[in-house]
Amino acid sequence: MKLIDLVEKANKGYRKNFPESDLRQFVDNNGRPLDPMPNGDTLAVWVVREIYETFDPDATDLAQVEEIIRVIQNGIGNLNDLVAEFEWQEWKPEVS
C-alpha cells in the first residue's frame, strides 16, 4: 500500500465527522505532509503526520493498517487522559 492510499483511507473516515475538511490538503501527491503545513485543522495535521511517521513501504498492507490503528488508539488514550483531568470533581462547581 502506498502512503497516499493510507491518507485516502483515513480521509474517508475523517470526513464523516468533519465534512468540510480534507486530509489531502495537508499532503503532497505522494501523501507526504506539506512543509509548511496549512493553518487550521490541527487534528488533520496530527493524523497525516502520524500516518507519515509510521509508514513503512516494506510492510504488508495489514501491518500498515494495524500500526495506524495502534497509533490512533494511543492518541485517543492520551486525549481521554486529558479529558479525565478536567472531569475531576475539584473542577466542577458545587451543586446546592
pTM of the model: 0.84
| Cell triple for 86 | 478536567
Helix, strand or coil, per DSSP, at residue 22: coil
pLDDT in tens, 3-29: 999 999 999 999 999 999 999 999 999
Nearest to 71 by CA among 52, 48, 59, 54: 54
Rounded (5°) CA angle 17-20-2: 75
DSSP letter (8 states) at residue 27 = B
pLDDT in tens, 39-52: 889 999 999 999 99
